Homo-oligomer: A and B are copies of this chain.
Amino acid sequence: MKSVSEYLASLRARRPFPIWFRGERIADPTTHPALARSLATVCKVYELAQDPAWQDLLTTESPLTGGRINFYLSPLLCREHAWQKTRLARSLGQVLGACTHRCTGSEAIAGLFPLTYELEAERGVPVHRRFLDWLADVQREDLTVTAALTDPKGDRRLKPHEQPEPDVYLHIVARREDGIVLRGAKVNQTGVLLAHEMLVLPTATVEEADRACAVACAVPTDAPGLTYVLGRQPHDARCGDPDEDLDSGRRFGDHQALILFEDVFVPWQRVFLAGEWEYSGRLVDYFTAVHRLTAGACKAGGMTLLTGATWLAARYIGVERAGHVREKVAEMEMGAETLYALSLAAGQEGHSHPSGAWIPDALLAHTGKYLATRLPFEAARYAREIATGWGETAPAAADLHHPELGPRIERLLRPAVEGATAEDRLRLVRLIESLTRGSNWSAFALHGGGNPEASRLMALRQMDLEHLSRVAAVACGIEEDEASTLAEVAGRQGRVERRRD
């Protein structure tokens, strides 16, 4: 497995490719200040993967390579893997307060593993073998992989082929003997500039008329024809010197990019779905079940970090004994536990797939993701309340560090905790500001892994409402065939389909 310096060297070994930010080109993503916090995140994950205390969370054995690999490069192969994913997401969420940069890739791997198995078994296309070959290489090289998911979508009343501008959905424009050619774009892609590979997936279930959009493949991030536009975050201009870094609130961060695909060629060896539109829905299902399991747990981690920050903020002004403060802190952490529990349960309630994959329970996973679009926002409100208005209007670190001005402020803003300084307090309120406003953490809570409505609808689709109606009908004496309904109750717990290993 790669050390941090090996990772950096491998990034720098990529062929140069166009990255835009605020109207200018970024020459080297490993040195540009706008990407510094994001780079720190990926490096931290490489570092922790070699930390003995994190071995059980961040590594696993690979049947493909026979060796120990980064856990993010493994499909879920057993129930324990699901639990490991939940705990890892929560733990890293606490440490980073930012996206790990590694989850979408791991979930694309977890989704493509059973999907390619089915496609190969049912259609005879050798995509599972191709996928395993690619995966074994990636595991051996210990690469960072992200997924490329969300298309711009244009007018949402129209299907892809009805759009006036066809490139608002990524699609195959040519099928050649040696591979396929892609055109279109992906938006909101987290972490892609610091990854080696991206796994392209369809943004949603594809119908026959849009079969050109049914595409899944692996693309190196430096492939010709790719152009990246780095998106803005509220705090993104706070970088470049230590004071501004302090005002940005955190050591770690992430980035999102718009990716233009302008005739990108992908050789068949890296293509896992190319027009088989009937498989697109299944792929989305396999992917989202794991993705949303993680999305909930990850936000649990961030909420726990926010709870800790809030508690420290309360101590800094001496209100940690106030009843309402204790209630709010308890609510925040109970919220984190709720997300954690839904993720954990989704993993436990999963089932085995013939490919060897472990498929989490979709209803619990979508429910967790749905709550992850709500609970962090209540927590954010509490955190901001308890940090006081000063948390919203604090001066710059540069003011505190100015020889003439600093000492005059310092004595006014010093915390009520022995030994703590005004700078400590500034650091803390900037962390809270970053989590709740300045960084995209709350954007992840809302949109990462799907927005609230998508999660609610997918959860609804998993519910066997006819079965539930029968339970009610038996309970009140409308339905007289009690026996078969009760037998169902003992087994299915209200799901459309319930496969237990």
A478–B318 CB distance below 8 A: no
A476 nearest CB across to chain B (Å): 4
In A155-186, the 8 Å CB interface with B consists of 155-158, 165, 167-168, 185
Complex contact A246–B477 (CB within 8 A): yes
A392 on interface, CB distance cutoff 8 Å: yes
Q: Do A305 and B471 have beta carbons less than 8 Å apart?
A: yes
Q: Which residues of B contact A447 (CB under 8 A)?
A: 385, 388-389, 392
> Which listed segment binds B: A9-17, A109-117, A213-221, A490-498?
A490-498
Contact between chains at B231 and A333 (CB < 8 Å): no
Q: Does A107 count as interface, using CB distance less than 8 angstroms?
A: no
Q: Mark A45-57, 1 if CB is under 8 A from B, else 0.
A: 0001001011011
Q: Do A337 and B185 touch (CB < 8 A)? A: no
Q: How many copies does the complex hold?
A: 4
Query: A35 to nearest B CB, angstroms?
Result: 14
Tell me, yes or no, whether A23 is within 8 Å of chain B by CB. yes
Q: Are A469 and B402 in contact (CB under 8 A)?
A: no
Cβ-defined contact, B389 with A187, below 8 A = yes
Chain A, residues 74-97, CB within 8 Å of chain B (1/0): the string is 000000000100010011001111
A229 touching B399, Cβ below 8 Å? yes
Instruction: Name the contact of A396 in the complex, choosing from B22, B472, B490 (C-beta under 8 A).
Output: B22
A135 at the interface (CB under 8 A from B): no
Q: Is A153 an interface residue (CB 8 A)?
A: yes
Q: Which residues of B contact A348 (CB under 8 A)?
A: 83, 344, 348
* Proximity string of chain A (429-468) to chain B, C-beta cutoff 8 Å, 1 when within and 0 when not: 0110100011010110011100111001101100101011
Q: Judge whether A118 is part of the interface by a CB distance below 8 angstroms.
A: no
Residue contact A367 to B334, C-beta cutoff 8 Å: yes
Instruction: List 13 A-B residue pairs with CB atoms under 8 Å apart, sorted by A's residue number.
Output: A21-B396, A23-B405, A94-B475, A152-B412, A231-B395, A234-B234, A311-B468, A312-B469, A334-B367, A338-B342, A338-B371, A377-B377, A392-B440
